[in-house]
Amino acid sequence: MLLDTPAVDLGWKAPDFTLPDLDGSPVSFGESLGAKGAAVIFMCNHCPYVKAIMTRLVEDAKVLMQEGFGVLAVMSNDYQSVPADNPAAMRAFAEQYGMRFPYLLDEDQSVARAFGAVCTPDIFGFNSDGELHYRGRFDSAGMGPAAGRTADLQEAMRQIGRTGKGPVEQVASAGCSIKWRV
């Protein structure tokens, strides 16, 4: 089911959460907040929208991390109903794409609920004070070819790093719905 992310109040303060990474080690938002801010990406393994951007996401995240931003990926799907998103599959997915940023398991879905996340990918960009200044798409290519793309997340995060604020115009992310527990 294709969903678009809803508009949100920019300036909203991120809740400081702690989730386990693929090795079971705790990773907190507050400790992952870079000197310039952080991006939090709600994603999963099986979503075709996520798969379409993964190579570009890993490349752009590497650049952002080198520039002083934190990057966290959060998997909130109910993997009991979607086994392709289970922890072992998360590890294989991260290895397949060479992810160098934490991929966290939100098993009780509390972080996705606190953020108001609705789809995969659902992308949030925060300034160095942990205030939301971007909620939008990853790039203009989406599921299409990358040639000539606009790197929306990367450009927004760079603006946030320079000014503390994101772009006025933001294009909503679109993707598969988060698979909630019933």
What is the Cα–Cα distance from 147 to 154, expressed in whole angstroms? 16
Confidence of residue 1 (pLDDT cuts 50, 70, 90): very low
Q: Which residues neighbour 136 within 8 Å (Cβ) at sequence distance 6 or greater?
A: 5, 123, 125, 152, 153, 156, 170, 171, 172, 173
What is the Cα–Cα distance from 151 to 60, expressed in whole angstroms? 8
Q: What is the pLDDT of residues 4-58, one digit of tens each?
A: 555 667 889 999 999 999 999 999 999 999 999 999 999 999 999 999 999 999 9
Residue 3 has pLDDT above 70, yes or no: no
What is the Cα–Cα distance from 124 to 9, expressed in whole angstroms? 12
Residue 102 has pLDDT above 50, yes or no: yes
Phi-psi region of 120 (alpha: psi -120 to 50; beta: other; left: phi over 0): beta
Fold of 2-177: Glutaredoxin (3.40.30)
Percent of the chain with pLDDT over 70: 96
What is the Cα–Cα distance from 15 to 9, expressed in whole angstroms? 14
Domain boundaries, given as residue ranges, for the chain: 2-177
pLDDT at res. 9: 75
pTM score of the predicted model: 0.94
What is the Cα–Cα distance from 25 to 31, expressed in whole angstroms? 13
Q: Which helix (H) or strand (E) holds 92?
A: helix 87-97
Q: Which residues neighbour 41 within 8 Å (Cβ) at sequence distance 6 or greater?
A: 57, 71, 72, 73, 74, 121, 122, 123, 124, 138
Residue 35, number of CB atoms within 10 A of its CB: 10
Distances (CA, A) of 139 to 60, 69, 76: 10, 18, 22
Q: What is the pLDDT of residues 132-146, one digit of tens each?
A: 999 999 999 988 888
